[in-house]
Amino acid sequence: MKNMIILIITFMIVSCDKNPTNSKSEYGFAIYFLKNEDLKIKDVFDKDIEDLKLASDPWLIDEDIRFYDWSDHCIYLKNDKEHLRKYLNYNDGWDEPYLWNKPYVVTANNKRCYMGYFNVFSSIKWPCPHIDVSIDILGFPKDVIHSQLVYIFTEDLRNNEDVKQTLLEHNLYRRGIKFSLDTTGFFIDYSKNKDTIYIEYTFKITNCDQDTLFVIDPDKMVRPLFFYFYNGLVLKNQENNEIIRSIDKSSIPEPYYYSWSPEWFTKLIPGQTMMRTIKQSYSYFSTGNYIMQATFDNPVLNFEKEVREIEEGRYWIGKSRTKVFVLSVNEDEKKRNFFIDN
C-alpha cells in the first residue's frame, strides 16, 4: 500500500510538470508562428496548412484582444502591442531580420484557418494576408495591429467564417463599416481630352457597428487631400491583366502626413449611411472587359486611443473594399458605352 501511494504521488508530480497550471490548450482566436523559426513564407506557401508544425504557444490570443473590427481587420488590443515583442525572441526593433517573411497561422477554436506572414521592407508580396511591420505595426496606433491583403480582385482569406464565429462567441467581433458602390449613377467621360478618362460614381459608407463612427468625408476636404488618403476605384483588364489606377493620387503638405483634423470627418450613428459622388481621373484605357473594385481608406497615423475614442464614439481607421464588379466598355458609332454586372 505504501509503495502504491508513492507511485500515485510520483505520477501526479510528473503530470504537473508536463502540464503547468498556467498553460492553456484551447484558444478561441490565436496566431501561431511555426515551430521551425528558420522557415520563410516562400518555404511553406504551397504547403498544406495541416502539415505545418506550429510553435507550442501562440503569439497572440483572444485574451489579448479588446475587439476585432471585421471591416478593416484591425485588432484592437487591451495593452500596448510592445508587450508582444517578448514572444519574438529578440530585443531590438520590430524591423529586425528575424521577422522578415516570417509565416504565421491563424486558428479559431484550435482549427487552422489560414496562413499569413510578416513583411519587412520588401517589395515582393505574396497573395495571402500579411502584417507589414512598417505600416500595420509601426504605422498604426500602439494598441492596434492590422492585417492586410495587398492583392485586389482575389479571395480575402481574412474573411474566414470560422474566425468570424469564434470572435462572435467571445464577444470580440465588431462589424465596423460597409463600403459599397451605387452603380446606377456610374458614368465614364471620354469627351474632355484623348489622354484622360474621368469616372464619376457614388459610394456609400454604412455604419454597421454598435459604436458611433467617424469617417473622412470628401465634402469636408479639398479634393487633393481626400485623394491622398482615398485609393478609390481600380480596374483590371481581363485580357492582358493590366491594372489601372487613378492618377489623382498626389502628395500633400508635409504637416498633414503626421496630423489630421476633426473637420475632415462625418459622424455616423449605428445604421446611418453617407453617400458621396466623386469623379476620379485615369490615363486613357481602351475598350474591353474589365473587373473593378474600390477601396475606402481612413488615416491611421496619430490616432492613439486617447484621441481616437471619444465620448460620442470612435474614429474608424484602416481600409475597406467593395465587392468586385464586371465592367464592359465597347465602342458603337464613335460613342463609348459601358455595362456593369453586379
CA distance readout (Å), 64 to 68, 82, 113, 236: 11, 12, 19, 39
Tell me how far apart the alpha carbons of residues 164 and 156 are, in angstroms, rounded to a whole number.
Answer: 13
Tell me how far apart the alpha carbons of residues 75 and 118 are, in angstroms, rounded to a whole number.
Answer: 15
Question: Which grid cell is 210?
Answer: 454598435
Tell me how far apart the alpha carbons of residues 226 and 217 are, in angstroms, rounded to a whole number.
Answer: 8
The answer for 153, left when phi > 0, alpha when psi is -120 to 50, beta otherwise, is: left
The rounded mean pLDDT for the chain is 83
Least confident piece of the model among 31-40, 95-104, 171-180, 281-290: 95-104
DSSP 256-276: HHS---GGGEEEE-TT-EEEE
Question: Which grid cell is 107?
Answer: 486558428
Residue 313 is which amino acid?
Answer: G
Average pLDDT for 233-251: 88
Predicted model pTM? 0.85
- Helix (H), strand (E) at residue 33: strand 29-33
Buried b (16+ CB within 10 A) or exposed e, 95-118: eeeebbbbbbbbbbbeebbbbbbb
Residue 20's pLDDT band (boundaries 50, 70, 90)?
A: very low
Average pLDDT for 89-106: 67
CB 118 within 8 A of CB 108: no
Tell me how far apart the alpha carbons of residues 161 and 107 are, in angstroms, rounded to a whole number.
Answer: 11
| pLDDT for the residue 13 | 38
Alpha carbon 289 to its chain centroid, in Å, reads 28
Least confident piece of the model among 95-99, 218-222, 278-282: 95-99
Give, in degrees to the nearest 5, the angle at Cα 267 between 295 and 141. Answer: 60
Dump pLDDT digits (tens) for 139-182: 788 999 999 887 778 889 999 999 999 999 999 999 999 999 99
What is the sign, positive or negative, of the torsion defined by CA atoms of 137, 141, 142, 146?
negative
In sequence order, the 6+-apart residues with CB closer than 8 A to the CB of 245 are 231, 234, 282
DSSP3 helix / strand / coil % (the chain, rounded to 5):
20, 40, 40
Question: Which grid cell is 288?
Answer: 474591353
Dump pLDDT digits (tens) for 103-151: 999 999 999 999 999 887 666 677 889 888 777 777 788 999 999 887 7
The number of CA neighbours under 13 Å toward the Cβ of 253 is 5
